[in-house]
Amino acid sequence: MKFETPAGQNPIDQLKVVGRSTDRIDGKYKTTGTAPYAYERHDVVPNQAYGYVLGAGIAKGRLRGMDVAAAWKAPGVLAVLTTLDIPKLGLGKMNTANLFGGAEVQHYHQAIAVVVAETFEQARAASFLIRPDYAPEDGRFDLAAEARSAKPVGADSAEGSGGGPEDRVGDFEGAFAAAAVKLDETYTTPDETHAMLEPHATIAAWQGDRLTLWTSNQMIAWSKGSVAKILGIPPENVRVDSPYIGGGFGAKLFVRADAVIAALAAKAARRPVKLALTRPLIANNTTHRPATIQRIRIGATRDGTITAIAHESTSGNLPEGRPETAVDQTKLLYAGANRLTAMRLARLDLPEGNAMRAPGEAPGLMALEVAMDEMAERLGLDPVAFRVKNDTQVDPGHPERRFSHRDLVGCLRLGAERFGWARRSAKPGQVRDGQWLVGLGVAAGFRNNLLTKSAARVRLDGRGILTVETDMTDIGTGSYTIIAQTVAEMMGVSLDQVVVRLGDSDFPASAGSGGQWGANNATAGVYAACVKLREAVAQRLGVNSADAAFADGEVRAGNRGTPLAQAAAAGELVAEDGIEYGDIAKSHQQSTFAGHFVEVGVDVDTAEVRVRRMLAVCAAGRILNPKSARSQVIGGMTMGVGSALMEELAVDKKRGFFVNHDLATYEVPVHADIPHQEVIFLDEVDPMSSPMKAKGVGELGICGVGAALANAVYNATGVRVRDYPITLDKLLDRLPDAA
């Protein structure tokens, strides 16, 4: 199905099933421990052996050799495979770092060997007996030191954000120099790790020259192609199966070392092999969100009209890596005739920087939305009013291109009303609650809406059961449920008559999970397949498909109602189709918006920051399942708290690795850190997005919330922290007198 014009009235608009707060149909499996995750697929293939990956102990250099004799002699060992035993492998379509093979060490904990044994403990013990001989080289590990030599680089995050090395509209320098009120500040964000609960894990088995990977991966079609490319085998000889994923946040968008090495180890051992990356390897061997140094300049008239805005960001990565695209939202979020955005990339020898939830916008808004608050204060304007004043309904760089639907103002105004923003003290440090200084903060949230093709197959059997098959994944987002809701709505049945099968590369290729594009596009692909199935059902029953109504398990035309199951009485009906998009996204800018509001308390003696209340008001098209959408948003809000207050990969700038590479030392929010969170969805649809008229919310929840928290800390204390995370040491000696 080609989607080229705005969606008109269609069966989804009935909203009998879609749009309802529906319990997740996979919830019962996850709460009872019966949902099989990658490492737990004990029944998929017999005689599984265990692999254990050894990471490099240097950050840059070469391997002169590896003594593996003792490892081979260890109890239970079936195979020892080192990076020197095979030629350097090619890169997958989305990889920057080499995953295995060859003597060059690009970063700390790069995989250099794998041991396969009968038990996990035997494999781990044997790996410690390997003796690598390194030729270390000096590396570059300090972004601040390398920023001076960083080069202008353009890039696309592959998730909807990006830009050229330098993008200009108008005369920024002239307008900034002439502005009555100016701001010029620099903000930094640290390296972060995804810290998902389920590690990178894979079971690999060969049957002749055919490889099956039971793994944890967000993008099945991408990964199937990458595995084939890396291993040099035909794509049709690779099957990837990932029905349940215990979190990814972008870390599992791409093939990582666990999948490639499990495949190689299984071939070497001539046994199915299962392995999982340890927490230190997840931090140092896989990907992370790169640190940024961001300079923001804003110029405005005295009435608060922005006349000049510039956002420049520097980040680091391995050679051939991409920058963190932190400037992208600044092109679109606020009006202003004269604009500059620019990105620079420093070469670093740290592990690969790549996508983490809302790449670009998440760190970019942590700077931009604090700068907007600082500018509002200089202008003597309320921060909400300043943002509303500079709203735009067109792309500022291309005024002929309107937004398909944009209600940022509605988010901010409703949020201010519901949060009690009018009670906020404009002067910082004025509100006390016992030992706590109390403050309120606001920020805008922004994330683009991406359209990407997605396909599905739907089957109707003689019992009236509908089975949908697509390689779409569920990383805890509720894909099983919203896909079932889509089928139920389109075919006029109840949810208990729908079976959803996901995550298998033998199924039609979907949009996959990432960039908050999954829900809208995957359900649109299912919609297309259901349209084709409705036509087949109508033909089988001898009615005109245009006149047929599917409701309550029947197909109705005129005065006649026939059970849906009867259409398949003579044999199963199968329909396969997908959604493909024309140029509709080029004519109108498609984005999602939020207003984030946070209240914090800061202890006057210790500088401890406690979040007291959080509110997000979101404008993101039709909400397919408000219950699961809320879960996505509050998850993003929680990650935003982590980014603002605690998350930071500490870099050993001498040895070139992330020191706090486990969940004991890399701090993330826990239940005690998170108070009541309220989420409001504006009642809206966007017909230009898809037949579902939906968008995405999975990453909108993290976009802006960190800045709202930072602004609340400032409002509470009068202390402005521009270097994240906002830890006690950055506040303690600057707090107002506690008396």
Contact present, 443 and 585 (Cβ < 8 Å): no
CA distances from 604 to 257, 317, 440, 736 (A): 47, 40, 16, 8
Give the CA angle between residues 263, 266, 268 to the nearest 5°.
110
Rounded CA-CA distance 430/134 in Å is: 59
Q: Which of 693, 478, 708, 445 is nearest to 592 (CA)?
A: 445
Active site residue 369: no
- DSSP string for residues in 209-274: TEEEEEE--S-HHHHHHHHHHHHT--GGGEEEE-S--S--TTTTSS--HHHHHHHHHHHHHTS-EE
Within 10 Å of residue 81's Cβ, how many Cβ atoms? 20
- Name the active-site residue from 192, 352, 361, 699: 699
- DSSP class of 88: P
Give the CA angle between residues 458, 461, 466 to the nearest 5°.
40
Q: Among positive and negative, which fits the CA dihedral 97, 103, 109, 114?
A: positive
| Type and span of the H or E element at 173 | helix 172-178
CA distances from 438 to 354, 444, 602, 717 (A): 36, 21, 6, 8
Interhelix angle 257-269/220-231, rounded to 10 degrees, is 50
Instruction: Specify the length of the chain in residues.
Output: 739
Strand 201-207 relative to strand 273-276, pairing? antiparallel
Strand 398-402 relative to strand 394-395, pairing? antiparallel
List Cβ neighbours of 686 (8 Å cut-off, separation of 6 or more): 404, 405, 449, 590, 621, 622, 693, 694, 695
Please give the positions annotated as active site: 699
